[in-house]
């Protein structure tokens, strides 16, 4: 047994200083980059696969369809195409963080959209009543699934598969076989079809970029002031610059005139994009900065440890299914806005797989405990580009299904292999 225990306070302080050397050490860019490289090699991939995928796919489709793929019109189309996928995926991230799955989220978005459309078209309700009702339907579905999973303890796979079938029946009953409910309400239609004035788009982008940079720098300063673990300031600035550049580039692309006729101007950021932005900010805050978010990660990492720490695991489990179905309702509304109608197969087909694929490609683990809200955005863009690009190539339907299935499997394999690598390297 060591006898060199600290004698008195001075020794203890000195010892403490050497204890957490990595926290106190002045981080330079080089060591931070080496750390990052080490993490990637150890299987903590983060957003890397999604960003590489985005770059690769853009190059690929640009090479194959140089005239159409990066046209102003198609870029705007791509963003509105990604909206419902991203929103659905963002809700699913919460469920995936617990290592659960909600297979019914896609059709839940369909039934919520159907409820909204029916209320507007048949009952003549104002849009806000219809939207609130749709959200309520989503919450009810989520509560039911969550209760069955968390209290009765049926595997979420089975519960949501049952809901997947049942909800399709409800949608069919609501709309009628072969029927279509048109969506003509101005507000709803505007979500995916109308654009912000160009100046507003620029203002919002600038405010968001400045806000992001300010938050990051303020946090860095606070950490420095209190001698806490912090990243090198160069990296903080670089990250802020990249985010600002992405925001401004997106705004620039969406502000171009994309009207088919030279007589009118059609441009600006679609209204659905700031909606996703708000959801992204709220979800990121909730997951990263609130006790509730922390508890979600804890339950996903080790439910027994979370229970012993006094966390109400059942309540957390139910709540994530409510969030997923609530987001599904929003996603269904945006999808209905984009298509101007709701059909009985709304939210069916590959809607759910696109959303799960988006979350997983973005970096959310299917095994629980790892993932961020931004994964849904990055992965959703990847999926939208694949969908959009294949459409431009005129790929046959059977081939699109095959390719999408392969992409999903590919993303899941990266997740599983990275996880194995993490456990091999003790991460």
The answer to whether 356 touches 88, Cβ cutoff 8 Å, is no
Name the minimum Å distance from CB 21 to another protein: 6
Segments in 255-312 forming alpha helices (H): 272-289, 291-301, 303-308
Name the minimum Å distance from CB 221 to another protein: 11
As a whole number of angstroms, the distance between CA 406 and CA 353 comes to: 11
As a whole number of angstroms, the distance between CA 110 and CA 104 comes to: 10
What angle (nearest 5°) sits at the alpha carbon of residue 105, between those of residues 188 and 275?
Answer: 35
What residue has token string 């006898």? 3
The closest of 38, 91, 77, 139 to 364, measured between CA atoms, is: 91
Selected binder of another protein within 289, 315, 396, 420 (CB under 8 A): 289
The closest of 106, 119, 148, 53 to 385, measured between CA atoms, is: 53
> Contact between 186 and another protein (CB under 8 A)?
no
Number of chain residues interacting with another protein (CB under 8 A):
43
> Contact between 114 and another protein (CB under 8 A)?
no
> Contact between 419 and another protein (CB under 8 A)?
no
Name the minimum Å distance from CB 371 to another protein: 10
> Which range touches another protein (CB under 8 A), out of 108-116, 145-153, 226-234, 245-253?
226-234
Name the minimum Å distance from CB 127 to another protein: 30
> Contact between 6 and another protein (CB under 8 A)?
yes
> Contact between 12 and another protein (CB under 8 A)?
yes
Interacting positions 359-398 with another protein (CB under 8 A): 369-370
Q: For 259, left (φ over 0), alpha (ψ -120 to 50), or beta?
A: beta
Q: Which is nearer to another protein, 23 or 234 (CB)?
A: 23
Calculate the CA dihedral of residues 80, 81, 84, 89 and round it to 10 degrees. Answer: -120
> Contact between 33 and another protein (CB under 8 A)?
no
**What is the contact surface with another protein in residues (CB under 8 A)?**
1-3, 5-6, 12, 15-16, 18-23, 222-223, 226, 228-229, 285, 289-291, 294-295, 297-298, 300-302, 304-306, 308-311, 369-370, 422-423, 426-427
């Amino acid at each position: 047994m060591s006898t060199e225990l600290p004698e008195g306070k001075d020794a203890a302080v000195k010892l403490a200083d050497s204890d957490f050397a990595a926290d106190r050490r002045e981080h330079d860019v080089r060591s931070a980059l080496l750390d990052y490289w080490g993490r990637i090699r150890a299987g903590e991939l983060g957003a890397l696969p999604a960003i590489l995928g985005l770059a690769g796919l853009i190059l690929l489709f640009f090479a194959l369809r140089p005239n159409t793929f990066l046209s102003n019109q198609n870029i705007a189309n791509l963003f509105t195409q990604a909206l419902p996928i991203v929103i659905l995926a963002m809700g699913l991230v919460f469920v995936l963080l617990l290592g659960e799955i909600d297979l019914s989220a896609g059709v839940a978005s369909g039934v919520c959209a159907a409820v909204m459309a029916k209320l507007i078209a048949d009952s003549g309700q104002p849009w806000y009543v219809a939207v609130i009702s749709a959200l309520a339907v989503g919450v009810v579905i989520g509560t039911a699934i969550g209760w069955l999973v968390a209290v009765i303890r049926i595997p979420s796979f089975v519960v949501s598969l049952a809901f997947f079938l049942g909800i399709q029946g409800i949608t069919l009953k609501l709309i009628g076989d072969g029927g279509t409910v048109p969506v003509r309400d101005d507000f709803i239609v505007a979500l995916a079809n109308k654009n912000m004035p160009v100046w507003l788009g620029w203002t919002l982008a600038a405010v968001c970029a400045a806000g992001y940079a300010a938050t990051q720098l303020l946090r860095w300063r606070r950490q420095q002031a209190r001698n806490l673990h912090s990243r090198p300031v160069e990296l903080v600035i670089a990250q802020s610059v990249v985010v600002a550049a992405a925001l401004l580039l997106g705004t620039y692309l969406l502000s171009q005139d994309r009207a088919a006729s030279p007589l009118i101007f059609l441009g600006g950021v679609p209204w659905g994009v700031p909606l996703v932005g708000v959801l992204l900010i709220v979800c990121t805050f909730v997951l990263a900065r609130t006790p509730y978010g922390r508890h979600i990660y804890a339950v996903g990492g080790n439910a027994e440890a979370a229970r012993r720490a006094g966390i109400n695991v059942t309540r957390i489990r139910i709540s994530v299914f409510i969030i997923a179905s609530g987001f599904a309702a929003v996603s269904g509304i945006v999808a209905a806005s984009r298509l101007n109608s709701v059909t009985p197969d709304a939210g069916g087909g590959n809607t759910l797989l696109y959303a799960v694929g988006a979350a997983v490609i973005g970096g959310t683990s299917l095994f629980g405990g790892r993932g961020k809200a931004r994964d849904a955005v990055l992965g959703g863009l990847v999926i939208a580009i694949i969908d959009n690009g294949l459409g431009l190539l005129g790929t046959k339907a059977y081939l699109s299904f095959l390719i999408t299935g392969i992409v999903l499997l590919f993303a899941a394999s990266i997740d599983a292999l990275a996880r194995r690598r993490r456990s091999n390297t003790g991460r």
